[in-house]
Structure 1
Amino acid sequence: MKVTALYVYPIKGLRAIPLTTATFTRQGISHDRTFMLLQVLESGSLKRMQLSDFPACALFEQELVDDTIRVLYHVPEVPLAPDHPLQHQPLSVPLTPEDLASLDEVDVDLHNSPVRARRVGDAQDAWFSACFGFPTTLVYIGDGRRAVVGPNFLPPGSGSGAPTKPSTGWLSSVSSYVTSFTQPTAPADEEEQNDVWLTFTDCAPFLVTSEASLAAVSARLPPVAPAEMIKFRPNVVVDADGAGAWDEDFWAELGLPGDRRLQLTANCGEAGTVLKKLMKDRRVDKGSRWSPVFGRYAFLAGRDPLVVRVGDEVGVVRRNEERSVYDWPMHSKPPVKRPA
């Protein structure tokens, strides 16, 4: 089995950035979903902006340029907002904003896992507001940490999932490349247990999907409009090596280069037009009966970062006898107020 694609989404909701090489960390691919957009409502409250609810997010292309995120807005043929000069200019966002203490604090509740983030600045807010056509603010996770609030989502031996230590930033060291899938995962030590937390990723640091399952989705669609993997917003795509569609439902651990592991803990329940084709037989998670499943949420075992490349060999080193049960509490809460 091989890695066939890697994706990162520095600003949550915008287009993916395909990678040939990625640094895996405990919080996902380095810089993944460390920024998020919020709509500023007339009441002053903030509404989180995700692609599923704000399809205009797909008009924004992002790329990594040195230490910045370069964002381009592709104006549609039928404009969604009044023409504005900013729509035709690229936006530059620092990957790691400086002087966090000087940035306004913003409380964000994403899937009932709240965090205190930082507003990036007026220039970024003005640019996104001009493109969307309504007041928008860009926030940065900074040293904030979101808790994993679904017990079944937690990797083995990780404790409560509540973050306990301040952020130390993204790590940059690289582990050696040694392919071996023979040793079991070592028990998590105390430091590793305390390092289970999220940025603005939904419910886990990684989403793993399979080419074989994508082919099964495409088989249910017209030949002229096959399913696109990028619509499912994965981080890691594998070819499954003849294992067949939906085999990933039972994957518990994937062996990575350097004798490392991805611990796959929960199913990803999807929504959208394509997934309607899966409603008949892919509502296989007892904890989320109304959502068809595509892909698995995962955590990196071990504290050190790991470089992974497209084409790297991976393998299923542990399987579950039964499918995981989704237990993340997803009941809605009222929007939060923007600070004065």
Structure 2
Amino acid sequence: MKVSQIYVYPIKSMRPTTLSSAKLTCDGLPYDRTFMLLKVKPDGQLQNMHIDKFPQLSLFLTDIEFPASADHTNGGKANGNAKDAKGWITVTYKNSSSPHPESGVGNALRIPLKPETSNLKRFEVMMHRSLTTAYDMGVEYNSWFSAWLGFKVVFAYIGEHRRLALGNFASPGMNGGWMSTISSMIPVPIPGLAGPKDASKVLTFADMAPYLVVSQTSVDDVSFRLPPGEPMDVTKFRPNIVLAGASTAFEEDYWAELIIGESVTVQLRNNCVRCVSVNVDFDTGAPHKGEAGTVLKKLMKDRRVDMGAKYSPVFGRYGFLHREAEGGEAVIRVGDAVKVSKINAERTTLEWPGMTN
């Protein structure tokens, strides 16, 4: 197999930036899901905005302009301005090429990749029962998104804060410490684990894990369930890493560990269970009205294979960086060879408080 696509989602639930290569870290690809919108409800409470509840978020396109000093290559743009080493995200509202008719704000917004936070208000964000602190980016950004969405929002930046992975996502020793796996094919040396002292506190605004890996063979299986000429858009599955060349669809259900390139090792700890986000029409920002709006239902027929979430279909595997490559680097590139180094004897069972049966 090989890496066929790499995606980073700088703003949760919006469209991704495509990369040609990326440096992996213990808490995800750099800049992945470090921003998120929250809706301000009538009572002043904040609601996390995820694409299953707010499909219109798919109308916002993102493009990353990496800092000139960045040592990771990319598929976005390198910032050639030596006086400006910040790096930027450009967000574009795709349904308009002109300013907002009422507020007058433009259809594009530039956001610093790493904002200065010393003067920003802090507030707590709870996502899937995992608490963190975030920064309110302020009126300039809140007003821009509010204008295009038609309701008041807060644009949040996670900064240096992280969320805890819960349930059996919480530590590298889950799944029985690999006692339930079949160690296969490839002898691998075992240096120390990569990661912070608290190896479970690694999540940005990603749902449950720093990485999501999917197989193109399985994406093709979904495409075969749709009318001719309507292939499934892989980005509806929100992957970070797409792998091409698997022999059969959904064999990844049993993958426990991958080696990408020479020595970048990713542990695949759990299945990703799916919701109505896979039915969203990216052209309209609403549930698709055709066959593509029934993808979740189609998957329900044969993909409810995780006993921890038996009413939800499975597509893809959640991953954690296990070990950095020699020299402390963990860089992957499109075209890198991928080997399955460990296989589970049985499918894993999802455990996350409030999210499972």
Q: TM-score, normalised by structure 2?
A: 0.80
Counterpart in the other structure of 1:32: 32
**Aligned partners of 1:154, 1:193: CA distance in 2, in Å?**
10
Q: Which amino acid aligns with 1:33?
A: R
**Aligned partners of 1:197, 1:150: CA distance in 2, in Å?**
14
* Seq. identity, %: 42
Give how far 1:282 is off.
0.5
SS in 2 for 1:22: strand
In the TM superposition, what whole-angstrom CA distance separates every residue of 1:33-83 from its partner, at most 9, and x where no partner exists?
001100111111000111111111111111012301111112369xxx964
Q: Which amino acid aligns with 2:120?
A: L
Task: Identify which of 140, 151, 160 aligns with 1:143.
Answer: 160
Counterpart in the other structure of 2:177: none
Contact 1:34 1:140 in 2 (8 A): yes
**Aligned partners of 1:154, 1:200: CA distance in 2, in Å?**
16
Q: Which amino acid aligns with 1:315?
A: K
Task: Identify which of 63, 72, 96 aligns with 2:92.
Answer: 72
Cα distance, 1:270–1:82 mapped onto 2, change above 3 Å: farther
**Aligned partners of 1:34, 1:189: CA distance in 2, in Å?**
21
Q: Which amino acid aligns with 1:74?
A: K
Give how far 1:126 is off.
0.6
Q: TM-score, normalised by structure 1?
A: 0.84
Q: Which amino acid aligns with 1:91?
A: L
Counterpart in the other structure of 2:213: 208
Q: Is 2:279 the partner of 1:259? A: no
Give how far 1:299 is off.
0.3
User: 4+ residue runs of structure 1 moved beyond 4 angstroms?
Assistant: 184-187, 189-193
In the TM superposition, what whole-angstrom CA distance separates every residue of 1:137-171 from its partner, at most 9, and x where no partner exists?
111111211001122x245238xxxxxxxxxxxxx
Give how far 1:217 is off.
1.0
Count of aligned pairs between the two proteins: 306
Counterpart in the other structure of 1:328: 352
SS in 1 for 2:164: coil
Larger deviation: 39-48 or 297-306?
Answer: 297-306
**Aligned partners of 1:291, 1:48: CA distance in 2, in Å?**
21
**Aligned partners of 1:282, 1:301: CA distance in 2, in Å?**
27
Contact 2:271 2:350 in 1 (8 A): yes
SS in 1 for 2:126: strand
**Aligned partners of 1:198, 1:305: CA distance in 2, in Å?**
20
Please show how residues 1-340 of structure 1 align to structure 2 within 5 Å. 1-65=1-65, 66=79, 67-75=87-95, 83-86=102-105, 88-98=106-116, 100-151=117-168, 153-157=169-173, 182-186=187-191, 188=193, 191=196, 194=199, 196-239=201-244, 241-272=245-276, 273-302=294-323, 304-330=328-354
Q: Which amino acid aligns with 2:309?
A: S
Larger deviation: 247-256 or 195-204?
Answer: 195-204
**Gapped regions of structure 1 (runs ≥ 5):** 159-179, 333-340
